[in-house]
Amino acid sequence: MDINKHPTPTDSGLKRRFGDFVSLSEALDYAAQGKSGINFYSAKGVLLESLPYSDLRQQAIHVAKQLLTLGLKKGDRLAIVAESDSDFSRIFFGCQYAGIVPAPMPLPVAFAGKSSYINTLRGMIENSSAKAVIIPQTIQSWTREIIEKFPLLFGGNPAQLKEIKVNSAIELPVIQADDLSYLQFSSGSTRFPMGVAVTQKACLANAHAISYYGLAVKETGDRCVSWLPLYHDMGLVGFFLTPMTCQLTIDLLPTRDFARRPHVWLDLISRNKGTLSYSPSFGYELCTRRMPSSTLELDLSSWRAAGIGGDMIRSHILKQFAEQYQKYGFNSKAFVASYGMAEATLALSFAPLGEGLKTDTIDLPLLETTGIAKPSNDPCVTTRTFTLCGPILPDHEIEIRDENGNILPERRAGSIYVRGPSLMKGYFNKEKETEAVLDKEGWLKTGDLGYILNNEIVIIGREKDLIIINGRNIWPQDLEWAAEHAFNSLRSRDVAVFSVDKNNQETVVALVQCRAIDESERKRLQEDMTSLFRRQNGVEVSVLLVPPHSLPQTSSGKLTRAKARQMLLKGEFGFHF
């Protein structure tokens, strides 16, 4: 196979279509008529391979016939560890042509160790009832432990799959709108990941909403750049599937190296005149903490939509990023806050383009005790600033409800419910779990808390993370962010706050990743942080120091407080609480 070493052009030469297809394979059939495609870069920003959609289509059809030759049938699941490379692309779209349901699975980058990773991966394979498993060459030595005792038709790496000779009698099935397109495993921040079943129809409805309304993709000139993981909904749907469905070129960097070289992301935007790129807040923070070398010439003036999603939006980090990169042509009005989740394919809302971040600073004690988000600029009142994430996308609906199911008015915080054509079919093979969140009228209980302001969605936290002490609703992010802001030695995701039942009393705990070795310095950090929480948040907190890199994260890089709590109670941090 010849590897093209020239990036595909920005413009496809086709009339722009915005996801108005029956299936992803039909979308690729159309994109293949143009010049755009996917470009794969190394961690240092060197182009490794250019894959025009025309070549991807041809290769994916061949893979589809290989998979069917193996004995896989339409509707069967294929688990694939999602490396950001051309092999993943060919296999994922090969599944689309074969009617096989791919289940992208995480790389080990977000896990504490090999054992934890393999156990999680095996759980995903079991939950999806996969009949084939594909492991990238980077971890092929773990293959036996990953696939052991599973009844598979295939278990190996992409190179081994390529050796399969196609049965010439194989015919591709007809793909319909209601067929499953893929399984998207939830990030697992509060429970073990479950497979979100996404149909062709739901995926394309969301791709249309994102490209036509959310990002308002232009007829010419738009180009995507991403380092986001293809096993997470923001990377897979936002910067792999959606661009293809509207014929956009994509420049991809490997996820596993982003934290070490965040500026390669910005350099690629600069070099290729990228216009559309997203990141959680921590990606912008990494770029802010590590300013580029004086030899790196950046021009970020082409970046018209700098999206934020995947976690609670930290406006102060984004403000700092904008200030530091203004000299490189970055425009703070390019920031686009958004809200979504895998259960809705991806996106549910986008802030208006070209307006930058809009925030709402509210009276925090009043919110905690009454659920009312009242604006405040009183210096004597503890406040909290939230980001507005835009109106719900067209053809979708949103309601904020209280604990009795009553719809709440503007500025009243409650549970967020959504409905629309992008919603999942359900959790794969999990009927009870599906019924718990998706009712017969099509309303999805998101598990998020928020309120509406000027028709825009404001997210304030996760229901399962909420700490209730003496009638107060305390959001763990408030304490975590207060600590990270007050102590220069702390970084994002260094603090995990939750409550535990100790001696029949609810106790708030803060686990803090501490890099200091000196005992007096460690003790001072504990005492100062305890004082900070008491003074600033009005709550008593047991501050416990844990080693660096020991706090658990989901596959998408979010802190998982539920698992941190379990680890504490099991004594996995080296002490018993």
Whichever domain contains 401, its CATH number is 2.30.38.10
The answer to whether the CB of 370 falls within 8 A of the CB of 408 is no
Q: Does 482 share its domain with 519?
A: yes
Q: Does 114 share its domain with 195?
A: yes
pLDDT digit string (tens) for 496-524?
999 998 777 789 999 999 999 999 999 99
pLDDT digit string (tens) for 551-567?
988 766 778 888 898 89
What span, in angstroms and rounded, lies between the C-alpha atoms of 168 and 575? 62
Whichever domain contains 525, its CATH number is 3.30.300.30
User: Residue 8: its pLDDT value, please?
Assistant: 98
Q: In three state form, how does the secondary structure of 485-515 look? A: HHCCCCCCCCEEEEEEEECCEEEEEEEEECC
Query: 412 pairs with which residues across the strands?
Result: 372
What is residue 528's three-state secondary structure?
A: helix
| Domains in the chain, number | 3
**In whole angstroms, what separates CA 350 from the centre of its chain?**
15
Q: Considering the chain, what percentage of its residues have pLDDT values greater than 90?
A: 82
Indicate whether 59 belongs to any domain: yes
pLDDT digit string (tens) for 54-89?
999 999 999 999 999 999 999 999 999 999 999 999
Q: Does 541 share its domain with 497?
A: yes
User: Residue 66: its pLDDT value, please?
Assistant: 98
User: Residue 191: its pLDDT value, please?
Assistant: 52
Q: Does 371 share its domain with 442?
A: yes
User: Residue 110: its pLDDT value, please?
Assistant: 61
Q: Does 90 share its domain with 204?
A: yes
Q: In three state form, how does the secondary structure of 284-323 look? A: HHHHHHCCCCCCCCCCCCCCCEEEECCCCCCHHHHHHHHH
User: Residue 203: its pLDDT value, please?
Assistant: 98
Indicate whether 416 belongs to any domain: yes
Q: Does 172 share its domain with 95?
A: yes
Helix 200-208 vs helix 24-31: crossing angle, to nearest 10: 50
User: Residue 537: its pLDDT value, please?
Assistant: 86
Tokens at 45, concatenated: 């920003």
The answer to whether the CB of 316 falls within 8 A of the CB of 485 is yes
User: Residue 178: its pLDDT value, please?
Assistant: 98
What is residue 424's three-state secondary structure?
A: coil
CB atoms within 10 A of CB 270: 22
User: Residue 129: its pLDDT value, please?
Assistant: 97
Closest CA to 49 of 105, 13, 1, 97: 1
Indicate whether 370 belongs to any domain: yes
Mean pLDDT value of segment 169-194 = 84
Indicate whether 227 belongs to any domain: yes
Q: Does 389 share its domain with 500?
A: no
Indicate whether 297 belongs to any domain: no
Beta-carbon contacts of 261 under 8 Å, excluding residues fewer than 6 positions away, are 43, 44
Indicate whether 143 belongs to any domain: yes
Mean of per-residue pLDDT scores for the chain: 94
pLDDT at 34 over 90: yes
pLDDT at 322 over 80: yes
Tokens at 36, concatenated: 């755009």
Backbone angles phi, psi at 287, to 5 degrees: -70, -30
Mean pLDDT value of segment 209-238 = 97
Q: Does 371 share its domain with 409?
A: yes
pLDDT at 225 over 80: yes
pLDDT digit string (tens) for 365-381?
999 999 999 999 999 99
Residue 431 pLDDT class (50, 70, 90 cuts): very high
Whichever domain contains 186, its CATH number is 3.40.50.12780
pLDDT at 576 over 90: no
What is residue 527's three-state secondary structure?
A: helix
Indicate whether 203 belongs to any domain: yes
Structural domain including 374 reads: 358-464
Point out the domain boundary residue: 220, 240, 261: 261
User: Residue 175: its pLDDT value, please?
Assistant: 98
Burial label, 324 (beta-carbon count in 10 A; 0-12, 13-18, 19+): middle
For CA atoms 312, 185, 227, 222, the dihedral sign is negative
Indicate whether 319 belongs to any domain: no
Mean pLDDT value of segment 271-276 = 98
Beta-carbon contacts of 77 under 8 Å, excluding residues fewer than 6 positions away, are 100, 101, 102, 103, 128, 129, 130, 131, 183
Beta-carbon contacts of 525 under 8 Å, excluding residues fewer than 6 positions away, are 487, 489, 512, 514, 516, 543, 545
For CA atoms 269, 272, 274, 280, the dihedral sign is negative
Least confident of 61-65, 198-202, 489-493: 489-493
pLDDT at 296 over 60: yes
Q: In three state form, how does the secondary structure of 57-103 look? A: HHHHHHHHHHHHHCCCCCCCEEEEECCCCHHHHHHHHHHHHHCCEEE
Q: Does 72 share its domain with 157?
A: yes
User: Residue 366: its pLDDT value, please?
Assistant: 96
The answer to whether the CB of 70 falls within 8 A of the CB of 132 is yes
User: Residue 292: its pLDDT value, please?
Assistant: 83
Mean pLDDT value of segment 225-239 = 96
Amino acid identity at 47: L
Q: Does 78 share its domain with 215?
A: yes
Q: Does 499 share its domain with 372?
A: no
Q: Does 124 share its domain with 243?
A: yes
Point out the domain boundary residue: 214, 241, 261: 261
Count of helices and strands (H, E) across the chain: 17, 26
Residue 469 pLDDT class (50, 70, 90 cuts): confident
pLDDT digit string (tens) for 237-264?
999 999 999 999 999 999 988 989 999 9
Tokens at 337, concatenated: 């806050």
Point out the domain boundary residue: 464, 484, 504: 464
Closest CA to 284 of 191, 207, 387: 387
Distances (CA, A) of 371 to 368, 402, 410: 6, 10, 11
DSSP state of 219: S
pLDDT digit string (tens) for 104-156?
999 987 666 788 889 989 999 999 999 999 999 999 999 999 999 999 999 99
Burial label, 144 (beta-carbon count in 10 A; 0-12, 13-18, 19+): exposed
User: Residue 127: its pLDDT value, please?
Assistant: 94
Closest CA to 415 of 450, 442, 466: 450
pTM, whole model, 2 decimals? 0.90
